[in-house]
């Protein structure tokens, strides 16, 4: 009998053909709507493998219902949607899909930085709403990107890729990371600073840290108060890293100049969220890795992990040792 696999979102045929040949596959057939927790509770009971997204909460209660589950393949870099400790306790492998989305997410991060600095979305609405009546010297003026100081909090692969884009704009790049990276400093021409000094000295601050207990509300009222009045905060990492109430008040009171957000604490973000009403916020629906090629690579890597785990091999991106 073939092992059973459940996929929590409809994926293109071209990426699931390889597992249909090996396993008995059942898939949630909606592309835009996530599987409900109740459906997942039922489906997880008999399957050997689960391929899921960040939209699925795989908690201890769900894991306890799994009788045969051997691997949870998360189609994302982050894995805070999965109770890793519980999975490990129950002998279930957990994998993610790092690496393949590095360049695409760096592209989006820099695009969001530029859109926020130059008020592109606001300007587009200004034109479409018929507000463009004449040219005036200070109309829709934004912040220069070239020659500015970019501060990166968390110098991982995406952070390093972002440095390369910033260098094309002659930006000075400073960074803070939990462990200093002397080799990258020399290679990329960047400078290490303390967390507080990165906040104080940067014109643009890009958050590149994972979501962990240590990074919840990493940027709060105190951190925002250290930033320049003209500072722009960019978050393409994870919601919850920024205290959204504190950010709203800092933006509303012009304590910082603007923010570009691809992620929110609650997703999808409620349409009545105060941050969405501010003109100095550019908000996106978590599209950091959303290029066609990258999403297909992510799906393919998740499936590679799944196949390895179900065939008794060590998956290439195993997160927990059993």
Q: Residue 321: exposed, middle, or buried by beta-carbon count in 10 A (0-12, 13-18, 19+)? A: exposed
249 catalytic residue (yes or no): no
267 catalytic residue (yes or no): yes
Q: Return the half-sphere exposure (C-beta side, CA atoms, 13 A cut-off) of residue 82.
A: 27
- Catalytic residue (choose from 119, 165, 286, 295): 286
90 catalytic residue (yes or no): no
- Catalytic residue (choose from 9, 119, 238, 295): 238
- CA 143 vs CA 174, 216, 271: distances in Å: 19, 29, 27
Structure tokens at 319: 């997160």
- Catalytic residue (choose from 41, 85, 252, 267): 267
- CA 21 vs CA 16, 51, 307: distances in Å: 9, 16, 11
Task: Supply φ then ψ for residue 147, to 5 degrees.
Answer: 80, -5
The alpha carbons of the chain give a radius of gyration, in whole angstroms, of 22
Calpha distance 154→207 (Å, rounded): 7
The strands making up 204-207's β-sheet, listed across from edge to edge, are 191-192, 172-176, 149-153, 204-207, 232-235, 258-261, 281-283
Q: Which residues are catalytic?
A: 238, 267, 286
């Amino acid at each position: 009998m073939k092992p059973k696999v459940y996929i929590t979102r409809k994926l293109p045929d071209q990426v699931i053909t390889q597992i249909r040949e090996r396993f008995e596959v059942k898939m949630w057939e909606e592309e835009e709507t996530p599987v409900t927790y109740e459906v997942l509770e039922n489906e997880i009971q008999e399957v050997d493998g689960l391929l899921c997204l960040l939209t699925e909460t795989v908690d201890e209660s769900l894991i306890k219902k799994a009788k045969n589950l051997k691997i949870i393949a998360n189609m994302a870099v982050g894995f805070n949607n999965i109770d890793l400790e519980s999975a490990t306790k129950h002998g279930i492998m957990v994998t993610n899909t790092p690496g393949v989305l590095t360049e695409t997410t760096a592209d989006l991060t820099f695009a969001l930085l530029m859109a926020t600095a130059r008020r592109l979305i606001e300007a587009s609405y200004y034109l479409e709403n018929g507000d463009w009546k004449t040219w005036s010297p200070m109309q829709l003026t934004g912040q220069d990107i070239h020659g500015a100081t970019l501060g990166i909090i968390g110098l991982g692969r995406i952070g390093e890729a972002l440095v390369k884009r910033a260098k094309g704009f002659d930006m000075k790049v400073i960074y803070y990371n939990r462990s200093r990276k002397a080799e990258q400093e020399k290679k990329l021409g960047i400078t290490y600073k303390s967390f507080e000094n990165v906040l104080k000295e940067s014109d643009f601050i890009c958050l590149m840290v994972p979501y962990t207990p240590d990074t919840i509300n990493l940027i709060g009222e105190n951190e925002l108060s250290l930033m320049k009045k003209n500072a722009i905060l960019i978050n393409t990492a994870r919601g919850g890293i920024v205290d959204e109430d504190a950010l709203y008040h800092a933006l509303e009171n012009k304590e910082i100049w603007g923010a570009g957000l691809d992620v929110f604490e609650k997703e999808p973000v409620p349409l009545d969220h105060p941050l969405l009403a501010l003109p100095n916020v550019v908000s996106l629906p978590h599209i950091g890795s959303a290029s066609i090629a990258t999403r297909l690579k992510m799906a393919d890597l998740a499936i590679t992990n799944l196949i390895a785990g179900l065939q008794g091999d060590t998956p290439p991106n195993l997160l927990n040792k059993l």
